[in-house]
Structure 1
């Protein structure tokens, strides 16, 4: 079994992701649109149960190899809850779509397996399966939710890359044939590479709390101390020559110190180098003292061998840098200040069909004359002048693919510009995905508009025959002499027509809530509550209901929708009661910790919590999610009237206001509805 992708099943967005990625995997395996839809629909049926009722649920999409090189797509759903026992109808529907569905209990999980045979499974090789994994790894995000989840994965990968980069830096500094170190502003060494550590240990010293100048021959340090103090004051590079104490010998070294500054131009550290120049100094002394020439020649031969070793090491370092460049997925080219090519990586060789060794030192415009006409020449010129540039989208005249291009100046220790780097990143696939996504979004908007128009027209058209049924039933009821049984039949017809009319009206109201073009205004919830209480004046008096309310806040919103929200919540509290209703409405502003503790709230916003508490019949807490689903009822319609849309309308209104709604209850102990609305 080859695992392709794993998805947690936490909320409705995950259901969308599961459906789309199941469709996409089926498409990659060569299934027809009908087969894709069949398989994805069956998987979505079971996944929807996991999201609604499951615990610690997740799904794995895999490719399974059968005998005779056949393949099948496998969707395996893991859940702590037995989903089949909760809703066997969903399993029955999925089974009608796919045939057999396997269920088992394994390692404390209920495992549901759905399979679909690939007709031409032989063409799905190991390499193609690996390409499927790469596709989903690099697939553009389906939504902001999916984007956040991908960013979390990318952050973990970035942490690994930073650690790898640190290891490479340490390896590089340890392999360079010189002593490197970092000191603080007091001169104490905080970091030393392998060469300096070995030098210090060779003197019988330890790295702890040692200063860099304590390694020097004291008279030499006194000779350049004033220059070092001046470099500290001016925050500039310091260079000098001095002798390091190596047991009983003094070895000449070139000393370089470079300041490391923060964003406020304050020096936080200094990077230092000790480079062995003893051979050169010996040569200078030999020229002044011919008597020691023979001995110096011997030393020169010894140092020449050391130099050859160091040259070999430097050559290996160059090879290492070249390997790093060739390993990059980007296209990298470097030129000097005369526009001559310094280097470019393997990707650039493939793109231009030019060998690196053939064009090194050549003028860039001689090798690629087309660059003079497409603006690239001017951008590189600007980089050579010290001005970096960035071209978000550039179409190559060589490959006709799209790239994101960076033009970066190269400078030395004195900040003098000596060249520029051109770095290109292939974004062709990304742009194609963006264009495809844009087209899909436009089509989705069109379909949504069509559905809204259909719901509106259908609701109005359905009302007309219902009005006739009610009118003619009433006329017949009044004009005919009927016995009690016949009167009961007519009353049932009229009551059913009324229920159907209310249901159509609620569906129409629910569809209209998708239209949120109305401008938000400051809405006083105290005025909203007073208006709703006037609407229920007769019912409140009839039931002797008592309503207690805090002073409610003013929030940004749509007046009509917030009035509908309060109307539905108050209606529920009055309707579902078997004794004198007592309704309490509380309000307060949430603190930062409370907002952070609720995953559905934006931590960057402030929120008000409005609570509607009643002493009604209540419900079992396990149905707290179900009550906000359209047409979901927990009570029979004979005992309590309604269409099952009221709380779904409440949820939709709160979501339109970028808020969140939940409910807590115990059967027979009343219910509390918690409404979270943004404060600004």
Structure 2
């Protein structure tokens, strides 16, 4: 796409220019008068809509090169406003003239694209397209308005150049230690350098739209008002002395204001300066008044004493900082932008074997040439450019020990980096301890695996002799003629065997939990609760139990383990009840503050809290941890059956799911088991 000409759409005169230049481009491309009129009319319809309702509208006339050297004239109208949404009639009319019209939205502009195929596009060469551009660049103005527009464009270019010149002037004026300003003929400040801006803002004023004399002590201004009026009339330089209001003080300044004239000798602006001469005026006044001089002398002595005290404090602070740096076990080194060493603490002396007085002020690459080879030099350059870095493990080529190293930029209030700090911490012993700890953990993991396998195999192998004891005891009990005491012995053997079998089965379940390698899937806890309720259907009917439940969520987990969790918790609530059991299962999602208040939970995750509340016999709160310990029972095994593993299994299952399990209770008041489970992996 070759852009030929660009036209802003601001008013009806622009519409005339668009129409004429569209016609002219179509004529240059060899279109007939009818085709020229058709295309220009369609473009004008949309352009008129942009002028009426648009925002920052402009049109670009281009020539687009198609396949087989075919070409088309393209008019693209850009607008911040969606013109088609405002009025579709101009679009409909333009579509009847040209056919398809494309619209799009790019880079915050709505685009309307109108095209017209050039019948003999092959004859329009690259050189000819360049001649079209040159033509419109040098084309005579269509009207006085068009001439003004061209002049305005040239003026904008000139303004850009003036802007660059103004920036250079502003840089110079801001760095001069005096207050500079430009005023118009009414005395209003149109420009103030950095020093004057800061002065004005310190008075609680806004720099724009205030007069220069409003900054002065008004009695002083009234004293030289006539001189200023004469300077305005005669277009001459004005000079005076006056006091500027600085908070509660009045500070003497030399005031110089000179006119800036144009070619017609008319004053367009005035440039002025405020130069602080307060010290000079104070001296003059004190020479006239010995008593005032004495007071100033006393003040100077007091300031001098205060300065001496501050210098003493500063010296002590420097000594203290140096003592702190030298007392640090970390090595600390500071360089400036020229890589010169400006701080070098005692630990660095010990590490490098170099004395502080030998290296201060020297280039670090001269003192330690090896840093150019091990990446330290690059980290220093980054820090001096304002980018901090951190090397968790770095082996020193000097001591061969390992260090954690930080490269920290030093910057002031202006965020200008003027140096860098290198802070290193010896982590050799820590790394060695970590390696030892890793080896111990690996050995411990191996031992745990061996113990788990042993528990699993031992528990599994114990089942077989127990089954035989139970079976043969039942057979003997049924086949022998026994008295009541003998039959009681056999019943005790059978009950003990069954209890032992249940205990071994629970140990096997606990062992399997420790070795579980199942993958997490999405689990519907409502489905699990319904399954467990079916398992307890007869017991629920027998005890006339009531189970109330909220709608439970879907969470990532292991289906069989979560089923066992619900089974054991419901079994526990149904077992430890002396009246009609009522079990309430509630669920809610914890907020961030609640998660942060529970140290066992990961603060970066979200959790569900599921409470299992019953009206059973309860227990003392002091035993709330003991009940989750394997083989720990709070009740008589003859009154309440069980092996003492069920709640330990529950705790293990919750931990396998990266959750947390607690319980609260009072004797005779039932118990609440709080299950915290992650809402996501």
Output the TM-score relative to the length of structure 1. Answer: 0.53
Separation of aligned partners in 2, 1:548 and 1:618: 19
1:539 corresponds to 2:572: no
Counterpart for residue 226 of structure 1: none
Separation of aligned partners in 1, 2:434 and 2:251: 65
Shift of 1:439: 2.5
On the 8 A contact 1:410/1:418 being kept in 2, the answer is yes
On the 8 A contact 2:586/2:612 being kept in 1, the answer is no
On the 8 A contact 1:665/1:672 being kept in 2, the answer is yes
Counterpart for residue 251 of structure 2: 217
* 1:244/1:511 CA distance change after superposition, 3 Å: farther
Is the partner of 2:514 in helix, strand or coil?
A: coil
On the 8 A contact 1:217/1:250 being kept in 2, the answer is no
Counterpart for residue 551 of structure 2: 551
Shift of 1:643: 0.6
Separation of aligned partners in 1, 2:446 and 2:366: 52
Counterpart for residue 392 of structure 1: 392
Counterpart for residue 618 of structure 2: 618
Unaligned runs of 5+ in 1: 1-182, 190-209, 224-238, 253-298
Separation of aligned partners in 2, 1:333 and 1:616: 69
Separation of aligned partners in 1, 2:412 and 2:606: 50
* 1:249/1:335 CA distance change after superposition, 3 Å: same
- Mapping of residues 4-43 of structure 1, within 5 Å: none
Shift of 1:378: 3.7
Shift of 1:558: 1.9
* 1:213/1:242 CA distance change after superposition, 3 Å: farther
1:346 corresponds to 2:361: no
Separation of aligned partners in 1, 2:345 and 2:414: 27
Separation of aligned partners in 2, 1:633 and 1:449: 27
Between 543-552 and 413-422, report the one with greater CA deviation.
413-422
RMSD: 4.3
Counterpart for residue 403 of structure 1: 403
1:327 corresponds to 2:324: yes
Separation of aligned partners in 2, 1:392 and 1:240: 56
Shift of 1:460: 0.9
1:249 corresponds to 2:282: yes
Counterpart for residue 489 of structure 2: 489
Deviation readout 1:438-462 (Å, 9 max, x if unpaired) = 2233223222222211211111122
Unaligned runs of 5+ in 2: 1-197, 205-243, 258-272, 286-295
Shift of 1:309: 11
1:588 corresponds to 2:621: no
- Mapping of residues 77-96 of structure 1, within 5 Å: none
Counterpart for residue 448 of structure 2: 448
- Mapping of residues 229-268 of structure 1, within 5 Å: 242-243=276-277, 249=282
On the 8 A contact 2:255/2:274 being kept in 1, the answer is no
Separation of aligned partners in 2, 1:414 and 1:666: 64
On the 8 A contact 1:187/1:211 being kept in 2, the answer is no
Is the partner of 1:219 in helix, strand or coil?
A: strand
Largest Rg, 1 or 2: 2
Shift of 1:565: 1.4
Counterpart for residue 205 of structure 1: none
* 1:670/1:403 CA distance change after superposition, 3 Å: closer
* 1:251/1:664 CA distance change after superposition, 3 Å: farther
Shift of 1:360: 3.2
Deviation readout 1:52-77 (Å, 9 max, x if unpaired) = xxxxxxxxxxxxxxxxxxxxxxxxxx
On the 8 A contact 1:522/1:556 being kept in 2, the answer is yes
Deviation readout 1:280-336 (Å, 9 max, x if unpaired) = xxxxxxxxxxxxxxxxxxx9xx999x9999799769846743651442223222344
Shift of 1:535: 1.5
Output the TM-score relative to the length of structure 2. Answer: 0.52
1:633 corresponds to 2:610: no
* 1:308/1:547 CA distance change after superposition, 3 Å: closer
Separation of aligned partners in 2, 1:359 and 1:186: 46
Separation of aligned partners in 1, 2:578 and 2:485: 30
Between 540-549 and 455-464, report the one with greater CA deviation.
540-549
Counterpart for residue 460 of structure 1: 460
* 1:418/1:311 CA distance change after superposition, 3 Å: farther
* 1:211/1:464 CA distance change after superposition, 3 Å: farther
Q: How many residues align?
A: 416
* 1:566/1:361 CA distance change after superposition, 3 Å: closer
On the 8 A contact 2:334/2:420 being kept in 1, the answer is yes
* 1:346/1:604 CA distance change after superposition, 3 Å: closer
* 1:544/1:428 CA distance change after superposition, 3 Å: same
Separation of aligned partners in 2, 1:416 and 1:577: 74
Is the partner of 1:552 in helix, strand or coil?
A: coil
Shift of 1:564: 0.7
* 1:587/1:243 CA distance change after superposition, 3 Å: farther
Shift of 1:609: 3.5
Is the partner of 1:661 in helix, strand or coil?
A: strand
1:371 corresponds to 2:386: no
Separation of aligned partners in 1, 2:245 and 2:318: 32
* 1:432/1:634 CA distance change after superposition, 3 Å: same
Separation of aligned partners in 2, 1:578 and 1:342: 81
Counterpart for residue 28 of structure 1: none
* 1:219/1:430 CA distance change after superposition, 3 Å: same
Counterpart for residue 187 of structure 1: 202
Deviation readout 1:127-174 (Å, 9 max, x if unpaired) = xxxxxxxxxxxxxxxxxxxxxxxxxxxxxxxxxxxxxxxxxxxxxxxx
Separation of aligned partners in 1, 2:199 and 2:529: 66
- Mapping of residues 514-533 of structure 1, within 5 Å: 514-515=514-515, 517-533=517-533
